[in-house]
Amino acid sequence: MPSFDVVSKIDLAEVDNAINNVMREVNQRYDFKGSICTVERTDSDLTVVAEDDMKLRQLHDLIFTHWARRKIDSKSLDFSEPEAASQGSLRQQINIRQGIDTSLGRTIIKSVKSSKLKVQVAIQGDELRVTGKKRDDLQKVIALMKEMEIEQPLQYINFRD
């Protein structure tokens, strides 16, 4: 029976490369000279520290630019509210969303079942497995998921006949 997996994974090596490029540009730009501006990654979280709100917004623009250059989807970023840090600077936590949580998995399953396609969708950890008898039905499911406007990037892997 044909099947495929739906996952949401981000290549953390590419994330590290993008962060290194952001920091290199921060160190070279004149408007950031002598200011406190850093971007660091720990596991699946980014910590952004900037002197003021304007520099924080500029760091966001740099992050989006370098993520696009590295072909990383920026929809995977989940920004929290900036908080005050030492020396009057601002600190912001950015979560990198990976994996399909159960609530998102249930909404995807519900919309696939309401489309009346003859496929089965099962949650397997942090990914979904879609199986069906016809390859065309599986391709319709992929098209349906792309139309759903999910706030998280999805990849469709392991397509098997």
pLDDT tens digit sequence for 108-155:
999 999 988 899 999 988 899 999 999 998 999 999 999 988 888 888
Q: Which CATH architecture has domain 3-8+99-160?
A: 2-Layer Sandwich (3.30)
Please give the DSSP secondary-structure letter assigned to residue 2.
Answer: -
Per-residue model confidence as pLDDT tens digits over 31-76: 888 888 999 999 889 999 999 899 999 999 999 999 999 999 888 8
CATH topology of domain 12-96: Alpha-Beta Plaits (3.30.70)
User: Is the four-CA dihedral 17, 18, 23, 27 of positive or negative sign?
Assistant: positive
- CA distances 149 to 39, 66, 107, 132, 145, Å, are 29, 23, 12, 23, 8
Residue 15 has pLDDT above 90, yes or no: yes
pTM of the model as a whole: 0.83
